[in-house]
Amino acid sequence: TRVLVLNGPNLGRLGSREPDVYGSTTFAGLVERCHKTAAELGLDADVRQTDDEAELVHWLHEAADAGTPVVLNPAAFTHYSYALRDACAQLGAPLIEVHISNPAAREEFRHTSVVAGVATGTVAGFGLGSYDLALRAVAGLV
Which residues are at the interface with ligand DQA (CB under 6 A)? Answer: 10, 73, 75-76, 78, 99-101, 103, 110
Nearest to ligand DQA of 25, 101 (CB atom): 101
Was 73 annotated as part of a binding site? yes
Nearest to ligand DQA of 22, 92 (CB atom): 22
Distance CA 92, CA 94 (A): 7
User: Residues 58, 61, 99, 111: which is the catalytic one?
Assistant: 99
70-73, strands of its sheet edge to edge: 44-49, 2-7, 70-73, 95-99, 121-124
User: Is 22 marked active-site?
Assistant: yes
Distance CA 10, CA 137 (A): 25
User: Is 99 marked active-site?
Assistant: yes
Reduced to 3 states (helix: H, G, I; strand: E, B; else coil), residue 67 is coil
Reduced to 3 states (helix: H, G, I; strand: E, B; else coil), residue 101 is coil
Q: Which residues are identified as catalytic? A: 22, 99
Binding residues for substrate: 73, 79, 86, 100-101, 110
Binding residues: 73, 79, 86, 100-101, 110
